C-alpha cells in the first residue's frame, strides 16, 4: 500500500480530496513534455500505490516499467519486478503520495545505494510529508488525497487501524444513502407546490418501500435534500420504522433546493463516505461528477447501477455560446 495516509491518528480526519484516474492522468500529462527532455531510462513505481500512475507515466514516456516492494514492519525495500533497470540508469521514481512514513525515503535511499540517478514524482504531498518530491501536487491545507485504489483508507474505521488493516480493505467502506425514493416513495413535486402541509402530512404516514437495496439499511447514515426545518418529523418517521442512522439534512443557509445534489456531494466528502445510494438519476450524475472517487449508486427501485460522470466543458461552452447567440 506504500506510505499513503500515514498520519497522526489522534487528530481529526481531514477532508477528502478526490483524485480519480482522470485527475491522475491530467496531472501526469502536465509533466510529460518536461520529462521527455530529461532522458530517463526507466520508470520505477512503488507497489502498490505507485503502480497505476507508474503505468501511465511509463506509457506516456515509452519507457520500461519496474517496481519496488516495501516491507513496512522491517523497513526493507526489494525489487517487486523480476527485471531491474541497468546499473547507473536514470530513473523516474513514482509513488501515489509522499506521506509521513518511511516508504518513499527508504526507497529513494535503496535506489541511490544501487547507483541509480533519480527524480521523484508523487501524485500528492502536503506540509507533513517526510520529503518533498521533485514533481507532484501539493494538497490544499486540511485535505488528504483520496485515490480510487485505496478508496476505503479515507474512512474513520480504516484510520483506527493505524494503516495496518487486519481485514480486507472493502470491509472498511463507509456507506450512506438518500432518503426519499430509497426508504419511502417520493411525493411528486407538484403536490408540495399545491399544498405543502398536505403533502408533508401524506409523506409522514407513508410506509417503507416493499423493495429496498440489498444491504442492512437500519443504521446507515442518511443524507437527504429535506430542509433542516423538517428534522423532527423526518426523525419521527425513521424512529417509527426502525432506522437509526445519522441524519444529515440540507441547511437552507448553505444550499437551496436546486442545490440538493451539491449538498449531498459536500456531505459525502466531509463525512468521507465511500459509497452513496441515490434515488434520483440526475442527482446521481451530478454527485458522481462532484465526488469522483466515491462509488455513487443509482437505485431505480429494483436494482442499483454504478454512476460515473465527468463534465464535458467544450460541449457546455458550445451550448452556452449558442444560447447567447439566440438571446
Determine which of 126-130, 233-237, 240-244 has the lowest per-residue pLDDT on average: 126-130
pLDDT in the model for residue 4: 38
18-29, pLDDT tens digit by residue? 899 999 999 999
3-class state of residue 29 by DSSP: helix
Distance (Å, whole) CA 10 – CA 28: 33
Q: Are residues 115 and 33 in the same domain?
A: yes
Find cell 500500500 and name the residue.
1
Report the C-alpha gap between 319 and 249 in whole angstroms. 33
Residue 20, sorted as left (phi over 0), alpha (psi -120 to 50) or beta, turns out to be: beta
Q: How many domains does the chain have?
A: 2
Is 169 among the domain residues? no
- Give 13's pLDDT tier (boundaries 50, 70, 90): low
Domain identity same for 24 and 125: yes
Q: What does the DSSP 8-state code read for residue 84?
A: -
> In this model, does residue 149 exceed pLDDT 70?
yes
Q: Return the CA Rg of the chain.
A: 24
Tell me how far apart the terminal alpha carbons of the chain are, to the nearest angstrom.
54
- Three cell numbers at 81? 519486478
Residues 6+ apart with CB under 8 A from 60: 28, 29, 32
Kindly report the pTM of this predicted structure.
Answer: 0.82
- Taking the CB of residue 109, how many other CB atoms lie within 10 A of it? 12
Q: Is 169 left (phi over 0), alpha (psi -120 to 50) or beta?
A: alpha
Task: Give pLDDT, residue 317.
Answer: 63
Q: How many residues does the chain have?
A: 327
Determine the pLDDT at residue 10: 37
Phi and psi (nearest 5°) for 271? Answer: -95, -5
Q: Are residues 97 and 139 in the same domain?
A: yes
**Residue after which a domain boundary falls, among 94, 115, 149:** 149
Q: How far apart are CA 227 and CA 221, in angstroms?
A: 16
Can you read off the three cell numbers belonging to residue 50?
505507485
Instruction: Tell whether 302 and 182 lie within a shared domain.
Output: yes
Task: Tell me, yes or no, whether 50 lies in a domain.
Answer: yes
In this structure, the answer to whether residues 69 and 182 fall within a common structural domain is no
Segment of 32-36, 191-195, 198-202, 314-318 carrying the highest mean pLDDT: 32-36
Measuring CA to CA, which residue among 102, 91, 84, 76 is closest to residue 35? 91
Band of residue 7 on the pLDDT scale cut at 50, 70, 90: very low
**Domain residues for 27?**
15-149
Amino acid at each position: 500500500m506504500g506510505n499513503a495516509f500515514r498520519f497522526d491518528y489522534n487528530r481529526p480526519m481531514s477532508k477528502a480530496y478526490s483524485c480519480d484516474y482522470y485527475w491522475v492522468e491530467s496531472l501526469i500529462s502536465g509533466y510529460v513534455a518536461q520529462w521527455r527532455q530529461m532522458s530517463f531510462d526507466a520508470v520505477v513505481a512503488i507497489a502498490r500505490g505507485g503502480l497505476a500512475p507508474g503505468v501511465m507515466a511509463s506509457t506516456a514516456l515509452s519507457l520500461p516499467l519496474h517496481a519496488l516492494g516495501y516491507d513496512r514492519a522491517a523497513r526493507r525495500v526489494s525489487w517487486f519486478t523480476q527485471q531491474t533497470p541497468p546499473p547507473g540508469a536514470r530513473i523516474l521514481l513514482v509513488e501515489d503520495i509522499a506521506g509521513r512514513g518511511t516508504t518513499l525515503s527508504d526507497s529513494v535511499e535503496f535506489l541511490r545505494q544501487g547507483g541509480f540517478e533519480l527524480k521523484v514524482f508523487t501524485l500528492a504531498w502536503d506540509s507533513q510529508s517526510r520529503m518533498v518530491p521533485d514533481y507532484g501536487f501539493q494538497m490544499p491545507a486540511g485535505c488528504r488525497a483520496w485515490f480510487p485504489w485505496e478508496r476505503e483508507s479515507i474512512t474513520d474505521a480504516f484510520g483506527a487501524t493505524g494503516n495496518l488493516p487486519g481485514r480486507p480493505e472493502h470491509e472498511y467502506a463507509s456507506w450512506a444513502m438518500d432518503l426519499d425514493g430509497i426508504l419511502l416513495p417520493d411525493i411528486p413535486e407538484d403536490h408540495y407546490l399545491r399544498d405543502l402541509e398536505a403533502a408533508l402530512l401524506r409523506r409522514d404516514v407513508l410506509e417503507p418501500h416493499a423493495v429496498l437495496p440489498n444491504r442492512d439499511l437500519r443504521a446507515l447514515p442518511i443524507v437527504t435534500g429535506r430542509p433542516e426545518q423538517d428534522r423532527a418529523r423526518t426523525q419521527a418517521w425513521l424512529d417509527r420504522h426502525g432506522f437509526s442512522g445519522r441524519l444529515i439534512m440540507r441547511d437552507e443557509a448553505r444550499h437551496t433546493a436546486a442545490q440538493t445534489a451539491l449538498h449531498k456531494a459536500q456531505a459525502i466528502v466531509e463525512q468521507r463516505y465511500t459509497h452513496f445510494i441515490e434515488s434520483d438519476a440526475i442527482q446521481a450524475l451530478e454527485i458522481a461528477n462532484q465526488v469522483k472517487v466515491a462509488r455513487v449508486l443509482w437505485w431505480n427501485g429494483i436494482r442499483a447501477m454504478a454512476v460515473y460522470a465527468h463534465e464535458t466543458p467544450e460541449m457546455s461552452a458550445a451550448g452556452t455560446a449558442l444560447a447567447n447567440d439566440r438571446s
